[in-house]
A and B are shown apart, each in its own frame.
Chain A
Amino acid sequence: MILDGKCPTGPIEKTWDKHRFDLKLVNPANKRKYNIIVVGTGLAGGAAAASLGELGYNVQAFCYQDSPRRAHSIAAQGGINAAKAYPNDGDSIYRLFYDTIKGGDFRAREADVWRLAQVSNNIIDQCVAQGVPFARDYAGYLDNRSFGGAQVSRTFFARGQTGQQLLLGAYSALSRQIKAGTVKMFSRREMLDLVVVDGVAKGITCRNLITGELESYAADAVCLCTGGYVNVFYLSTNAMGCSVTANWKAYKKGAYFANPCYTQIHPTCIPQAGDYQSKLTLMSESLRNDGRCWVPKNKADLAKHPDEIPEEARDYYLERKYPSFGNLAPRDIASRAAKEQCDDGRGVGPGGRGVYLDFSTAIKRVGADTIKERYGNLFEMYEKITDENGYKRPMRMYPAPHYSMGGLWVDYNLMSNIPGLFVLGEANFSVHGANRLGASALMQGLADGYFVIPYTIGGYLAGIKPGVVTTANPEFKSSVDDVKGYSKKLLSINGKKTVSEFMRELGGLMWENCGMARTEKSLKANLKKIPALREEFWKNVKVSGANGEFNQDLENAGRTADFLEFGELMCRDALHRNESCGGHFREEYQDQGEAQRDDANFCYVGAWEFKGENKEPELFKEPLKFDNVHLAVRSYK
């Protein structure tokens, strides 16, 4: 089957404006009759819940944390892109659009990316009005910096905590609506099922994490803003609670999962220190504005203190390989280059899995105080974790799983193939193609939440009657029964291995065989090993405690069970895509280490449909057309 993204046609510059006009509207007096569920309160969910509440809809918002202010968007450090062109350096909406399409290795939809670039400027205005303390210059104007994959300075930032400040902006707007009564907030709730009535999304089943009770919520539309799935690698930069669960439950109710093999491995993270480690910590890409990546040219120098290695014996490999972008090469390329140096036996630090990120040149040029002002909190964080001083000794970095470009399939209106189910932010697949550029995730989350869904959801709701389905519908009870049975089963196994042991094992398989580089052989191996591990899990996992109580072990068990199924789909997608593009690097398809796309055969979105337990999913394709940007080999040389 060929999927249709329902993208507007005509001149790209007019697509969004025309579409917005064509969308049906809901009369202001009728809006309050419609209920909307928003799951997740990060940038996408927080912004969506606030904006929909402002419009007058009845919103119910959910998050698994104890407060909507804690979603993992908060950890984004470096910045948010916008095509303001304040520095007068040649930026434009068209250039941001072009860079994003190219950065995604020509695997995203043109119309969606255009819209993102167009509304990027509104986001900055909105956040400033909320009181987000963006960096300013001495005249009081907004300041910018550069990020990877762009040759203009279009990134707005709030020290090294841009995600925090943007999220707190959305949280403040959400708080205002909670006070106003338009949004009802449900914290410490985890969505464990999507309720579909006659093929239409009408509600969710949640676990109340405090009491352990299962709760049903009905609505006229459901928005999933539930983030990404890279915790499938066990060690990642995501928060501990990030999971594929909400998306996976929707997939199993019929929503298509698009491009699951597109995962972003971020080049600059603090290397792993031991087996006990629970997560990896990212160091912002903005550091590469001033930090230079290098490894020793000679293996004999590996044991030396970096200061003892003279300039001519250092290999500044990014500057050597990609002279025009240098240290600001895009993430997929910078990560692969780091891996290449380490695979070549020239990696530094424990286990030889690290490259230096060196600030000495920048400190000589602008002084340590300026570097401290720009990145002080990052240097502090680095020192807390490693006990090393980044001002005095180059930091050690290694790539780590960070973001998922794949996600649930959505059309131009952000609606999945299940009517009434909308998917926003990292949880959908729409704009980043096979690789996301730095400072674009915050942009997408807020674009979807503030400036896309408020329009497109109206177009859907205007065509349906409000309140037709309530929690009295038998589908709600059967969903609760299913979830209850599932938890009971998890608790009854009482085996020998802990949930974490299984998750570590799965993460290891995913990282080794479906990580930064993949081969047909490694993926086929995983397609055997993952089902075997899953089978063992359901026979031998030990989950402590009981159902009707606060039980973190049970929460983790459920998330791990879903990852054990999802990991297989990810490998299947990676195996079918016989090309390399962006974050998906198949070793068989390369040109001297550079990704080799196959546009003749793979210029499409691959979306998978669930066909039943232990049955092969079916692949649907949405062809990608490029009318405005020429398909070309992506070069940063």
Chain B
Amino acid sequence: MSAHNEHKTMTLTLIVWRQKNANDQGKFDTYVAKGITEHHSFLEMLDVVNEDLIKGGKEPIMFDHDCREGICGMCSQVVNGVPHGGQERTTVCQLHMRKFKDGDTIYIEPWRAKAFPIIRDLVTDRSALDTIIQAGGYSSCHTGGVPDGNAILVSKPDADYAMDAAECIGCGACAAACPNSAAMLFTSAKVAQLAVLPQGKPEASERVKNMLDAHKECGFGNCSNHYECQAACPKGINVKFIAKLNREYLKAQFT
């Protein structure tokens, strides 16, 4: 594969959260990123910095990442105070350096929420999100013994609504952005997806109650309608799903 690299390069100052492990207090350290082009992704910029650190006998900055195409939900960094860096509908792995200018100073921090303890540097433990799904984020069908796919009709608007909700990648940016550290957008996306589909109806009441109980037990706060979650969400999940969750929760009190 041939490469081209005739672009002008940038030099940036990075102020990065470093924390050795969960018990360490942590602090900000300053690094310089050199030779960065507009085509570098944000994580590729960090790769360049890390290569330098390793060669210099220093420990690289640890951060979660995997697919690097915005779908796995693994990457999770607060850039200049905003989860995923503030480009609309974009994960930090898809944020490109053309959004920055030569000479910029960039602050990089991990998700900060009680329910997401820091493991190291920018890496956090987000297993609380799995716990919420385990509490009821499914339709309880056993493998095999299900009807033909076309025996369950779903109107196109309902299918589209379910898909809008189902696009959530479970990154946790909603909780990181929320002043109450609520993962309500995350929880509501699953509740709404299954509540609108015929397959999810029989368990709707139990589901919403159990998932909200788990949400609380995990240490997330409650929603007070700041909508910071929607602004930070890299998949553009709409806060209307929180309204749907509230309605489902209210309904569940009477069933």
Contact = CB atoms under 8 A, between A and B. Distances in A.
Interface stretch (B102-110, B129-137, B173-181, B215-223): B129-137
Q: Which of A130, A350, A385 counts the most B-chain CB atoms under 10 A from its CB?
A: A130
A295 B51 CA distance: 38
A276 B47 contact: yes
A47 B20 CA distance: 36
Q: Is the interface of B mostly helix, strand, loop or mixed?
A: loop
A553 B127 CA distance: 23
Contacts of B4: 273-274, 350-351
Contacts, number: 241
B174 to A, nearest CB: 15
Interface residues of A, number: 90
B66 interface: yes
A407 to B, nearest CB: 21
A284 to B, nearest CB: 12
Given A125-B147, A179-B134, A278 B44 contact: yes
B50 to A, nearest CB: 8
A140 interface: yes
A384 B135 contact: no
Interface stretch (B154-162, B225-233, B237-245, B246-254): B154-162
A544 B146 contact: no
Contact of B1 (A84, A126, A241, A353): A353
Contact of B150 (A71, A141, A271, A279): A141
A274 B37 contact: yes
Contact of A385 (B53, B96, B141): B96
B119 A210 contact: yes
Nearest to B45: A276
B54 A275 contact: no
Interface string A138-162: 1111100000000000000011010
B130 A67 contact: yes
Interface in A107-166: 122, 124-131, 133-142, 158-159, 161, 164-165
A47 B135 CA distance: 19
A450 interface: yes
Interface in B82-139: 89-90, 94, 96, 98, 119-120, 123, 125-127, 129-130, 133-135, 137-139
A241 B66 CA distance: 6
A290 to B, nearest CB: 20
A457 B144 CA distance: 17
B73 A352 contact: no
Contacts of A387: 38, 96, 98
Interface string A248-288: 00000000000000000000000111111111011000000
A164 B169 CA distance: 8
B199 interface: yes
Given A133-B197, A136-B159, 16 more contacts: A47-B143, A66-B126, A70-B67, A86-B150, A131-B139, A135-B159, A164-B71, A172-B133, A210-B125, A273-B4, A274-B4, A274-B37, A278-B44, A387-B98, A544-B60, A550-B21
21 contacts: A51-B143, A65-B74, A66-B125, A67-B129, A69-B133, A70-B170, A125-B148, A128-B149, A130-B141, A159-B167, A168-B166, A272-B2, A272-B3, A273-B3, A274-B4, A275-B3, A351-B4, A384-B96, A550-B119, A552-B62, A553-B54
